[in-house]
Structure 1
Amino acid sequence: MRRRAQALTALPLLTAILFLMQPSPAQAACNGLAGCSCTVTATGISFGNYNPLSPTATDATGTINVHCDLLVALAGSYTIDISAGSSGSFAPRTLRRGAAALNYNLYTNAARTQIWGNGTGGSVNVTRTVLALLVFNDSVTVYGRIPAGQNVAAGAGYLDTLTVTVTY
């Protein structure tokens, strides 16, 4: 079992959740095969502006992408975990700006009913199947939500740092 960790930063106001990926390739889904090369990249989740007076939650999405160049056919799976971040809890995660905190979370599904974590504390992780001959591409959507009705000071700079771990 191999693990690959990546940093994830969340910024809700006028900015985005950013997946900060290391420049070196991850070996996700390769399972030690010679000649197999993989990279993990992600797009940010842009929440835009959060309005504390809005009765509606602020939702957004991003993606985690896994791309592998394979020399032989491969069948197996890999798992993606996302850490709890600075809150130390999956429910809720918090974006912080000094002493101020803004609750948010990341989910595995569009209904936003399954909190994406590591399988503990009420969270679930995502396991994906790999079936490939020469090239493997997989894109996984990350669903974000800031609940409505939070009384927080206006301004950018609320952030959280999370770790995305790919296990194969």
Structure 2
Amino acid sequence: MPLSALDPKKSKVFLVGMPGCGKSTVGKVLAQQLGYVFLDLDTLVEEQEGLTVPQVFEQHGQAYFREAEARALRQAATRPEQIVLATGGGAPCFCGNMDFMVATGTTVYLRLSPQELVDRLTPLDLQARPLLRDKSPLQLHQYLADTLSQRELFYRRASCGVEAGRASISAVAREIARYITGASTQLSE
């Protein structure tokens, strides 16, 4: 019997957390472990808009991007397949997206400290993310710490949370998969 027949909310899994916490990387492994389809919200926005995320920001601004992101999120949630969706770092904080994800599926918060995030983000990552671009290491750390403190109000509403930096990608994905399938009732807090 498919998992969604047991609990429809478990057929849509939304990964939330800061840029660089591993949502896309863990999400691909998790989707494979569960037999779900992996989707990346930034990619869906790019397909919907016909522009890259930086181009959407540059041409239309952040407010427009957040609305486009909300449309793409809701469209993805209507797909008939079981999905694991890696959201953008700010997606839960705008347009009622966190309320929508909590009501629609299982939300998982991948936690990392600001320093762990700085250590993980490569120069290529920074250039691909408009809100992180052109910051010195000190400015980046401060920005991530400030942003995390604001966003955690939303992230902590997730169904569960996992420390994303203390284990391998596959171990983190396995821990989440056990939670999704009911083999575990609690993720690491």
Establish whether TM, by shorter chain, passes 0.5: no
Higher helix residue share = 2
Q: Which has the greater radius of gyration?
A: 1
Higher strand content, 1 or 2 = 1
TM-score, with structure 2 as normaliser: 0.27
Question: Normalised by the size of structure 1, how large is the TM-score?
Answer: 0.29
